[in-house]
A = this chain, B = another copy of it.
């Protein structure tokens, strides 16, 4: 199983434990930068040095609110990584109002598709909350892709893996009740297939709740119910009495 908190916990290692603490206002420097960027879908599974070459002509930006990053129609010679703050992508409707297509929060990227295919941004992008961004230049990115053929394959492979992760998350959201999603989240934190397991939550309950798509009050109740199934929660450490039987419960379709 892969690390279940991947999109949020910023730690690229599969044996993820806890994040470094509450999200700081990031300064794009050194290893912290690398770890966050390596956690992006686009870079899933790439080595650190490959990453450095890909991002050779990239720059870190500190942007204030209301900064316009690009307009629709502009040449897409870069894409962006959001380390902190928020950026909105929007279109202008015929009658002049703007319709927000997407809002990007840390840590995510946008504009890759435009840069890689059309070469033109189809939407406008504006910073809506003071942001720290990485602007990834096209040149080094592309030349690296060309120079080392395996990089492109591995990047494709990484995106395919992510695609499956997301698809399966969608299925779970649609056909599993919340308590099963919570249970599976916990199970994904351990390698054990049978017997007892001790895991620690990679972040606080508020975030865990939003991760599985419920409110934190509901999460409390779910954890209370799971206690009857041998899942003892205490602070952010959890003991699962019998991993095997819990897995079996989750595998059952429907209710």
Binding site for B on A (CB under 8 A): 41-42, 45, 93-95, 99-100, 102, 108, 110, 112-118, 142, 145-146, 149, 152-164, 166-170, 173-175, 193-194, 210, 213, 247, 251
Beyond the given A113-B158, A156-B156, A159-B160, please list 4 additional residue pairs across the A-B interface where CB-CB is below 8 A. Answer: A108-B167, A112-B156, A156-B159, A174-B213
Q: Bound complex: CA of A194 vs CA of B97, how far in Å?
A: 11
- In the complex, which of the residues A45, A155, A160, A213 has the most CB atoms of chain B within 10 Å of its own CB atom? A160
- CB of A117 within 8 A of CB of B158, answer yes
Q: Which secondary structure dominates chain A's binding surface?
A: helix
Q: Bound complex: CA of A100 vs CA of B168, how far in Å?
A: 12
- CB of B173 within 8 A of CB of A170, answer yes
Looking at the assembled complex, report how far the CB atom of A18 sits from the nearest CB atom of chain B, in whole angstroms. 23
Q: Which residues of B contact A94 (CB under 8 A)?
A: 193-194
- CB of B157 within 8 A of CB of A113, answer yes
Instruction: Decide: A117 near B157, CB < 8 A? Known: A94-B194, A193-B94.
Output: yes
Q: Bound complex: CA of A160 vs CA of B118, how far in Å?
A: 13
Q: What are 10 A-B interface contacts by the 8 Å CB criterion?
A: A45-B117, A99-B247, A100-B251, A113-B160, A116-B156, A117-B153, A117-B158, A155-B156, A156-B156, A159-B163
Q: Which residues of B contact A160 (CB under 8 A)?
A: 42, 112-113, 116, 159
